[in-house]
Structure 1
């Protein structure tokens, strides 16, 4: 098993960083909604969190698939 390259590590960090950022934006949107702002901010930021979850899940699946291929010796 080989060690992950810097670009692979950075890819994972950026995936998780996007999810954390969208979660923080959702928290701000909820706080603003409680202060009288529009509900659309909460809806949009909730959608952004869902997209962030999808990106993280897609990256995890891709990295696991690549690890299985490398363990099996497949080169494609």
Structure 2
């Protein structure tokens, strides 16, 4: 086999494997796939509750917090 045939074979096999496994990668994002969809649907509410609990515990208002991290003192 020549180098061109080997490279062509590798490209075809790689593309075939990529297309074969892609269907499972996108299946993870499907809301119908998990057996327990309640946990999936309630996750955003749980995250908001955790942020609210952190605000109360730390005594801060995250709405007033800066949207970036400043690593150096202002000049």
TM-score (norm 2): 0.39
Which structure has the greater CA radius of gyration? 2
Bigger share in helix? 1
TM (norm. structure 1) is 0.38
